[in-house]
Amino acid sequence: MSEIEPLVRLTEELTKLPSIGNKSAQRLAFYILKQPRESVEQLCDAIRNVKDRISYCSVCSNITDRDPCFYCTDDSRDPRLMCVVEDPHNVEGIEKTKDFRGVYHVLMGALSPLKGVGPDDLNVRSLLERVGAGEIAEVILATNPNVEGEATAIYLAKLLKPLGVRVSRIAMGVPVGSDLEYADEVTMLKAIEGRHEV
Amino acid sequence: MPLYTTDALILRTYQLGEADRIVVFLTRDKGKKRGVANGARRLRSRFVGGLEPLTVVRLAYYERESRDLVRLNYADPVQSPMRMRNGVSLGYVEYFAELLDECSPDADPNATLFRLGAAVVDALAAEVPVERLARYFEYWVLRLQGVYPPLLLCQRCGQKSKGGGRLDPGNGGFSCLACADKRGVLLSAEALRFLRDAAGVPPEGLSRIGLSIGAGLQLESAHQQLITSHLEKELKASKILRAMSRES
């Protein structure tokens, strides 16, 4: 196969994808080779479209194929309620609940002193501008439940509270369907701290 | 492939593939190690919560002689910075972890450094004022590295310094006010007194030792110069901490 240059090139390109090793890349390359021309062109078009048509929303920084994005222009959503997340794929996770009907703001990461990611590297300024404009009544901080996400949430809360909005943090605790016996101490502690009356 | 069980302090992690992590950890008895935690990024991983920076864990790993990376079996958290109720201190967690990481060579046992790190995590959980804790931690890490100059005697006149002095890492160390030129960082009598008092107590005792904002800033500046001079680079985390404190 080493002599068939186009196949080698395709395999090399596929190897660059996450969790695709050389064997998988070869298998995919041969699969693509066997497909009808139209299917391969559809795949190429889809990949090209992702790069050509998807950009970041100028309001919330979520990925979108139109600007402002679907969530920012949907009149049925509550513009007074905002959920702040680290990455665009977190929006999908929250949307799956079908329960949150507010708007989003995507930070594009979390504060990470170890990785050299500071406030200037995140969409903090635009968040403050949106909240400062006055329409937002509550900001839900839905950053990840780890040291970086917690540090980011606390940093944002310090900046947001003086703007006169309610600032809340998503709860942390044991996953549904799991067993308390196997929950670690920190998770249990957070679950007990975040308990609510029934 | 022998299984080792030890106490360890998690220093940092890197993503590996889809679901795994490479973990850098400081053990009590075998120095700093790197290992793979399979499936650590999955929601129901057995490592979940145990691999956050500066978590003290009871950890087991397999090691092969010819391999640089060990394989983690489990990491049960014993003390975690996520227990903190005062979240402002969370920003410092990665700074402490980076300083420990930079000052501990691979596989070079240093039980004192491990104990210092673990004591600092306990102090964070006990809500010791984090600025004082940071200065204490820097002081002890630098002392254990052998780079903290003696602050009692002036390096020029050899006399005891009573009213403070200047610390100039690039120019020999500490000089009393009478001998010092304008170079280096000014350390007031209060800053020196804090170091003297803090040196004799465990980190949780820092709540009882006062440190004004001005003296704290002097110590921070002096320690940053010593760290930069020792490591020949500025820590990433200290730059970010400065940016965070400037904006908030």
* Same domain (yes/no): A84, A160: yes
Q: How far is B150 from chain A (nearest CA, A)?
A: 30
Whether ipTM > 0.90 holds is no
Tell me the average pLDDT across A6-10: 94
- How do A78-85 and A138-141 pair as beta strands? parallel
Amino acid at B44: R
Contacting A residues, span 122-141, partner chain B, CB-CB under 8 Å: 124
pLDDT band at residue B42 under the 50/70/90 scheme? confident
Task: Look over chain A and give the mean of its residue pLDDT values, rounded to a whole number.
Answer: 92
B143-173: pLDDT as tens digits: 999 888 887 778 778 777 777 888 887 776 7
Q: What is the pLDDT of residue B144?
A: 92
Q: What does the block give as tokens for A158? A: 């310090």
Tell me the average pLDDT across A94-111: 94
Q: What SS3 class is residue A75?
A: coil
Q: What is the pLDDT of residue A81?
A: 96
B96 Cβ contact list (under 8 Å, min separation 6): B54, B117, B120, B134, B137
Q: At which residue do the structure tokens 């209060």 appear?
A: B190
* Same domain (yes/no): A96, A184: yes
Please state, in angstroms and as integers, the Cα–Cα distance from residue A177 to each residue in A183, A192, B209, B229, following that order: 12, 17, 48, 52
A49-66: pLDDT as tens digits: 999 999 999 999 999 999
In a domain, A186, yes or no: yes
Q: At which residue do the structure tokens 């254990």 appear?
A: B144
Distance CA B172, CA A93 (A): 57
* Same domain (yes/no): A28, A97: no
**What CATH fold (topology level) applies to the domain B1-88+105-127?**
OB fold (Dihydrolipoamide Acetyltransferase, E2P) (2.40.50)
Distance CA B202, CA B119 (A): 8
Q: Is residue B53 less than 8 Å (CB to CB) from chain A?
A: yes
Q: What angle do CA A9, A13, A16 make, to 5 degrees?
A: 145
pTM of the predicted protein model: 0.85
Q: Is residue A167 less than 8 Å (CB to CB) from chain B?
A: no
Asked if the Cβ–Cβ distance from A118 to B240 is below 8 Å, we say yes
Percent with pLDDT over 70 in chain B: 98
Q: What is the pLDDT of residue A2?
A: 56
Q: How many residue pairs bridge chain A and chain B with CB atoms within 8 Å of each other?
A: 90
Q: For chain A, what is the domain count? A: 2
Task: Look over chain B and give the mean of its residue pLDDT values, rounded to a whole number.
Answer: 88
Asked if the Cβ–Cβ distance from B18 to A119 is below 8 Å, we say no
B122-141: pLDDT as tens digits: 999 888 999 999 999 999 99
Q: How far is B176 from chain A (nearest CA, A)?
A: 35
Q: What is the pLDDT of residue A74?
A: 93
pLDDT band at residue B247 under the 50/70/90 scheme? low
pLDDT at B193 over 80: yes
Q: A120 contacts in B (CB within 8 Å)?
A: 243
A187 Cβ contact list (under 8 Å, min separation 6): A172, A173, A174, B48, B49
Structural domain spans, chain B: 1-88+105-127, 133-247
* Same domain (yes/no): A111, A45: no
φ and ψ at residue A73, rounded to 5 degrees? -105, -5
Asked if the Cβ–Cβ distance from B52 to A154 is below 8 Å, we say no
Q: B80 contacts in A (CB within 8 Å)?
A: 185-186
Q: Is residue B216 less than 8 Å (CB to CB) from chain A?
A: no
Asked if the Cβ–Cβ distance from B241 to A113 is below 8 Å, we say yes
Tell me which residue of A170, A171, A167 sits closest to A195, measured CA to CA: A171
Considering only the beta carbons, identify the residue of A114, A154, A184 that sits closest to B94: A114
Domain of residue A132, residue span: 71-197
Distance CA B99, CA B138 (A): 8
CATH code of the domain containing A122? 3.40.1360.10
B65 Cβ contact list (under 8 Å, min separation 6): none
Beta strand ranges found along B17-92 (DSSP E) = 20-27, 32-37, 56-62, 69-79
Tell me which residue of A44, A46, A23 sits closest to A35, measured CA to CA: A44
* Same domain (yes/no): A171, A130: yes
* Same domain (yes/no): A44, A93: no
pLDDT at B248 over 70: no
Q: Is residue B15 less than 8 Å (CB to CB) from chain A?
A: no
DSSP string, A100-112: --EEEEE-SS--B
Q: A159 contacts in B (CB within 8 Å)?
A: 247-248
Considering only the beta carbons, identify the residue of A18, A118, A184 that sits closest to B50: A184
Among chain B residues, the shortest Cα distance to A153 is held by B87
Tell me the average pLDDT across B6-35: 92
Selected residue of A184, A190, A193 to mutate for chain B interface (largest B Cβ count, 10 A): A184
Contact B43, A187 (CB under 8 A): no
* Same domain (yes/no): A101, A35: no
Asked if the Cβ–Cβ distance from B44 to A19 is below 8 Å, we say no
In a domain, A100, yes or no: yes
In a domain, A59, yes or no: no
Find the DSSP H helices in B86-155: 90-103, 111-125, 130-144
Distance CA A1, CA A6 (A): 10
Q: At which residue do the structure tokens 């990840």 appear?
A: A144
Q: What does the block give as tokens for B59? A: 């950890």
* Same domain (yes/no): A88, A178: yes
* Same domain (yes/no): A170, A85: yes
pLDDT band at residue B52 under the 50/70/90 scheme? very high
Tell me the average pLDDT across B70-79: 92
Orientation angle between helical segments B130-144 and B111-125, nearest 10 degrees: 180
Selected residue of B52, B90, B234 to mutate for chain A interface (largest A Cβ count, 10 A): B90
Q: How far is A150 from chain B (nearest CA, A)?
A: 7
Q: B94 contacts in A (CB within 8 Å)?
A: 112-114, 147-148, 151
Q: What does the block give as tokens for A32? A: 């693509």
Q: How far is B94 from chain A (nearest CA, A)?
A: 6
Q: What is the pLDDT of residue A188?
A: 87
Q: Which long-range contacts (CB under 8 A, 24 or more apart) does B101-106 make?
A: B101/B11, B101/B12, B101/B24, B101/B26, B101/B32, B102/B231, B102/B235, B103/B141, B103/B144, B103/B145, B103/B231, B104/B11, B104/B26, B104/B31, B104/B32, B105/B31, B105/B32, B106/B31, B106/B32, B106/B33, B106/B34
